[in-house]
Chain A
């Protein structure tokens, strides 16, 4: 057998060695990143924007122009300034609520999935009950009961009501990880429960946790907007929802004052779409089965490799009669193809796509 063949075969697979490519960031990922960064920049820009959101700079619904790029709202405030402040408030609420919800959800899910038994039944029973009650109802009831809601209390309340679906999905994955052998090793070596959960179970579902967090953030921003539009928003703070609330209350749509209601509508849509797209493209990075666009490239690569293998075969035929080595090489490329199709985690996908429903 000639040893020349092995390095040749590796060379044909060289393009895969690029780290960035192996992550497989699609066009979708970059689009979503641009959207999310745009919204964050918009929120931060309010910190350096000269006009404050509470400053009265005009009268009811002044049209854009004359130093006011987006005109004024019903209070005579600068719409752009209010939009920036509102975006910042919404992002803060989204992040805080996202952290709270993901922390509770992952903790409950990990404990239930790992410990199992009656404990799991109990936790999942509670989770399913909370999941069955529409979150908006609980949000309305709690916000109504809070005498003075600030953005922090609102974020906390949203976080507390939106964890169940994360818990359910994490449990499904954690219970499959819990049966693996390395868990037994950790247990035998005397690791305690928190250590096992954090070091041996969590890393396996980290990709999932990140995606869940992204969805929780956008879900919380939308929940805040919904509450604010119903008139239960944070008092004394502008948010995207409260901006819409006032523009609806003062008939901005019917009177054609598009600058008052379109900006928050568009930013809310961008937030929601950007985060969902980010989650979907992360899903594609982690789950190769969803990578449809790459199939063509894979086929091309396979064809190229087959052609090279054939050349190799011919060259080998000329050099000697050792055709077995070339066969082996083409087998190897075939196996690599298969591996690239099947590789990667294929966890319970139905659970995953269910979790894709924003609360």
Chain B
């Protein structure tokens, strides 16, 4: 029954993390001295792009929406109720657009770039790292140094270099954006084909760095396993190298699964800025514009979505780990 306990324990911890994240998301912007709405509205009027009529509307809707005249606890409950019914509020900068719509437009672009980058990068990185560890010698040294260099490179630095070299200088890819001017997002072959040419650069800059990071981790895990007692024992027993390689790979893979959980958070953060570099219309660009315009509801929505996505991904990875890890499985059958 250890697996059940393991899952229950993880669930509790992730729920606690979720509550903490939502509370931070609620509390931190309210630590601004004075009424946040006053600050925002005065900023809006300074920009001069908003008429006083709109300003008043924004002010009243915000005060009413979040019940700013109520106590902090009451406000938190209001906030929770709104969040859990899927209502993220109203944008300031694009009043009266709902935050839900803005996020809904941006999210598919981000997911389309990040999800394949995570999966492909993880698989390729592990295979490359394992090969480097088994081969050793010069092969290992060159793979290790290259991977270390790539994994050390911030995502956005590689993005800038790729954009400049491949798009501006060589002209192989279009410079920035997600689709050609004049097209609008739709599910047609022509549009998807066009979007694909814009897709390569952001995808490449994420996946290359991610491969590097995973390869470095896998290499050192595999080297560690190579020195294990069971390897010497298997060799002494005359077990073939292929079989031993299999054992090593399986054992070295386990910690890499938790490594995936940790890497997802970093990748999502890096992807935010990669989108900026390519002016890709995803969540990162939305966040950037919202910060520039002091659009608090959008910023809070984006940070909340990122947190929930990262927590969910980590939770899924940890549960998978519990199912895969033979120690947890063995303990389970042993107790029966």
| A-to-B contact residues, CB < 8 Å | 28, 125, 128-138, 140-142, 144-145, 147, 165, 218, 222, 225-226, 229-232, 244, 248, 253-254, 256, 258, 261-262, 265, 268-269, 272-273, 275-277, 280, 289-290, 292-293, 295, 349-350, 353-354, 356-359
Contacts and interface: CB of A to CB of B under 8 A. Distances in A.
Interface stretch (B29-37, B71-79, B110-118, B242-250): B29-37
Interface stretch (B49-57, B98-106, B152-160, B191-199): B152-160
A136 B307 CA distance: 10
Contacts of A268: 154, 157
* Main secondary structure on B side of the interface with A: helix
B6 interface: no
Interface stretch (B16-24, B120-128, B233-241, B322-330): B16-24
B262 interface: yes
A253 B164 contact: yes
B168 A253 contact: yes
B163 interface: yes
Contact of B306 (A125, A134, A356, A358): A134
Contacts of B255: 350, 353-354
A262 B334 CA distance: 59
* Main secondary structure on A side of the interface with B: helix
Contacts of B140: 292
Given A147-B33, A354-B262, 6 more contacts: A144-B299, A248-B277, A268-B154, A277-B152, A350-B221, A354-B258
A282 to B, nearest CB: 13
Contact of B160 (A140, A141, A144, A244): A244
A354 B220 CA distance: 10
Interface in B269-295: 269-270, 272-273, 276-277, 287-288, 291-292
Contact of B273 (A145, A229, A273, A354): A229
B108 interface: no
Nearest to B29: A145
B314 A144 contact: no
A149 to B, nearest CB: 12
A353 B266 contact: no
Contact of A254 (B24, B145, B175, B296): B175
Contacts of A275: 152
A94 to B, nearest CB: 13
Contacts of B258: 354
A140 B303 contact: yes
B216 A356 contact: yes
Given A129-B20, A133-B311, A276-B151, A231 B292 contact: yes
A135 B16 contact: no
Contacts of B89: none
A37 B270 CA distance: 27
